[in-house]
Amino acid sequence: MTDLNQKEWAEQLAKDDNAIVLDVRTQEEVEEGFIPNAINIDVREPQQFLDQINELDKSKNYYVYCRSGGRSSQACAVMNQMCAIPNTFNLVGGFMEWAGEVSHN
């Protein structure tokens, strides 16, 4: 896992053609807005989270965020240790500090 600040995360994501954005917030939080093209898998549903993460392509680079950066850090650790996904990038400060584009359903 690599912790990246907002600028680093956005710049690296923009240049990465093997990237997947992963939103680990609750459905209620996602309804308030999300980073475009993000896949939502709620880390607060542990078994469902593990099941869905294990179905992901382990060769991709995962850019992970939550509301403030705490849950996404935990999610990255789980992805690295339990799911053998080596490339995870945690957004420090999370969606609360996100200054980039935001989508709404």
Token pair, residue 23, equals 């939103």
CB 80 within 8 A of CB 1: yes
CB 99 within 8 A of CB 78: no
Backbone angles phi, psi at 22, to 5 degrees: -120, 120
Beta partners for 91? 4
The conformation of residue 34, written as its DSSP 8-state character, comes to B
Q: Which of 4, 30, 38, 66 is catalytic?
A: 66
Among this protein's residues, is 66 annotated catalytic? yes
**Residues tagged active-site:** 66
